[in-house]
């Protein structure tokens, strides 16, 4: 039988093809590092939703503590603080009294319960900021506040309103 190729031809063919393929895959390469910097400052963001609550008129004997019609109020406290400080981020509120002309309902008639990590219930004061929440680590914290108004027969008739100021502080 006649051979068209010598017996060592397949080996030579593989070597030639391998060299040719390697030659086409050979690339020049260079690497260079890139430094990335980012300066982050302490930041806070506070949202309350809804921003208004209303207490319906009810019989003080039947309902001694009137829940706000809009309960719960969702509070989201977001902050970024220096992790090397042992200080705590705090949310406080201060406000009242509720007024209608010359008449007033004391701020202490407004109370709230709270749910959510770090949130706490309390009683409103117009003299001293009251704690609403505290956290040790940066992040976003969401909780619900459920407001109630002490419903007394002694309140004069009127349309009362007042404001509560919330302050979020992160060291």
pLDDT one-digit tens code per residue, 96-142: 899 999 999 999 999 999 999 999 999 999 999 999 999 988 999 99
Residue 13 has pLDDT above 60, yes or no: no
Going by pLDDT thresholds of 50, 70 and 90, the confidence category of residue 89 is confident
Region of poorest pLDDT, from 20-34, 114-128, 149-163? 20-34
Tell whether 78 is covered by a domain: yes
Q: Structural domain of residue 103, as residue ranges?
A: 43-156+163-169
Tell whether 56 is covered by a domain: yes
Q: Find where tokens 């969702």 sit.
A: 74
- Burial call 145-164: b when 16+ CB within 10 Å, e when fewer: bbbbbbbeeebeeeebebeb
Percent of the chain with pLDDT over 90: 70
Tell whether 6 is covered by a domain: no
Select the more confidently predicted residue: 91 or 54: 54
| Token pair in block for residue 157 | 């008739």
pLDDT at 91 (0 to 100): 87
Tell whether 38 is covered by a domain: no
Tell whether 75 is covered by a domain: yes
pTM, rounded to two decimals:
0.78
Q: How far is the CA of 5 from the CAs of 10, 67, 70, in angstroms?
A: 8, 99, 93
CATH code of the domain covering residue 113: 2.60.40
What's the domain count of the chain? 1
Residues 6+ apart with CB under 8 A from 108: 96, 123, 124, 125
Tell whether 70 is covered by a domain: yes
Residue ranges of alpha helices (H) inside the chain are 9-25
Tell whether 17 is covered by a domain: no
Tell whether 112 is covered by a domain: yes
């Amino acid at each position: 039988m006649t051979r068209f190729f010598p017996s060592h031809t397949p080996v030579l063919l593989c070597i030639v093809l391998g060299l040719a393929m390697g030659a086409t895959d050979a690339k020049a390469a260079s690497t260079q590092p890139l430094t990335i910097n980012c300066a982050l400052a302490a930041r806070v963001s506070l949202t309350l939703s809804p921003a208004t609550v209303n207490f319906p008129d009810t019989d003080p004997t039947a309902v001694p503590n009137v829940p706000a019609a809009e309960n719960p109020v969702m509070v989201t406290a977001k902050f970024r603080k220096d992790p090397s400080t042992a200080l705590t981020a705090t949310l406080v509120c201060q406000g009242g009294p509720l007024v209608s002309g010359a008449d007033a309902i004391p701020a202490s008639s407004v109370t709230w319960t709270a749910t959510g990590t770090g949130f706490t219930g309390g009683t409103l004061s117009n003299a001293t900021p009251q704690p609403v929440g505290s956290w040790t680590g940066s992040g976003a914290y969401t909780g619900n506040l459920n407001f109630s108004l002490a419903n007394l027969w002694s309140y004069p008739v009127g349309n009362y309103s007042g404001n509560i100021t919330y302050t979020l502080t992160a060291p």
